Structure 1
């Protein structure tokens, strides 16, 4: 149990680890932001396409995957529509954060819940090394997500430490669902494929609707495009060699 707890916490806290660079960023120029968003988008597309979707299909079928992805897309689209006129000044901790950043924070937090469940169930099954492998794979995905959240928040002139804390929180929620998955592995294992496909749909919505368009806002399309491809290759390399 100690090994499972350690793996769960490390996997969840990888989001905070990925957010550490924001503590050292000062001014993020529009061009640098475009390059970073392109790179993060590539990483997340690779993580979704070569990790979340295959893992869901491995223990289910195309129908489960389709339902989960469409549900994830629908939920994020609903959140997006409901936050268009939201005044974040009503929320002290998120005061000054624009709608786009709020949607991304919400999406990544929701996206992490089923990932935590999959880590917990993997440890709870008792299959040798399965939990460690899944925890490592999820941790690899969490790091760039933490950096992305932190990047958006400091671009909103939020303090570096506050941005780091919020980014870390978006991953820390995995600990809760991982604990549920671990102790109720037999009962909730069937939900994992739905959860992973939901996470895939949610993340693809954010990539398509927010990240890629914003990476090209300054009309410098060429370099963010190369950055996107480099991000995809980077994550694909890590997935093949470590996932």
Structure 2
């Protein structure tokens, strides 16, 4: 039952992040960069101080290396077949068309590994790991949900429809989270591979997406400070959960 709750809550964060779009239509680049960098710090801490150590405790360096590389390759392949869309710099004020639906589909596909990360973490014998990773993914989903909704508003989509569509992009994480949990729960030998896979996928997102975007508009210092705060915040949560 816990994996269902965790997957739903982490996916729900996408809609929560999109909620402000009902009240205002913009946010400064500086605050976007700060939020993205904060998310990056949280995800780095979750990967390197929780996922990987947990996987290493029940396996070995070979398993960790294979899992991390597979996670990285999986995201690389997704990036290849569904090119990254920079929502902050996409052409605005065009009608909602096939291209817009393609962008939404791409974002939805990119959420699959995030859901798997949550599911695999709940399958681990470490009781606090599942909620921890669900929190980290949820934090990452919130600013993403806002940017998706903002993009849709710029495509002349109504506020409520934009909010609904942005929320639905995160729903795929519920399905992939439950799949990841049941797959690794019934094949125990896959758990360390799954944890390492999740770490590799999260680190890929951080380095390929979050850090470059948070440094792209001249707010590198504020973003760097935010990254460190995010990392320390997650370390504190890891320590608190034991």
Instruction: Report TM bin, short chain.
Output: 0.7 to 0.9
Q: 2:140 aligned with 1:140, yes or no? A: no
Match of 1:125 in 2: none
Q: Point out where structure 2 has 5 or more consecutive residues left out of the alignment.
A: 86-95, 154-161
Number of corresponding residues:
220
Task: Measure, in 1, the Cα distance between the counterparts of 2:117 and 2:36.
Answer: 24
Runs of 4+ with deviation above 4 angstroms: 88-91
Q: CA deviation at 1:114?
A: 4.8
- CA RMSD in angstroms comes to 2.7
Counterpart secondary structure, 1:84? coil
Q: TM-score normalised to the size of structure 2?
A: 0.79
Q: TM-score normalised to the size of structure 1?
A: 0.79
Task: Measure, in 2, the Cα distance between the counterparts of 1:220 and 1:166.
Answer: 28
Contact 1:108–1:145 (Cα < 8 Å) also in 2: no
Q: Point out where structure 1 has 5 or more consecutive residues left out of the alignment.
A: 123-129
Query: Which is further off, 206-215 or 108-117?
Result: 108-117
Match of 1:95 in 2: 101
Compared CA separation, residues 59 and 75, structure 1 to 2 (3 A): same
Task: Measure, in 2, the Cα distance between the counterparts of 1:24 and 1:235.
Answer: 25
1:150-206 CA deviation, whole Å, 9 max, x = no partner? Answer: 133124225122212222432442123324444x2xxx1100111111111111111
Counterpart secondary structure, 1:97? helix
Q: CA deviation at 1:90?
A: 5.0
Q: CA deviation at 1:78?
A: 2.0
Match of 1:162 in 2: 165
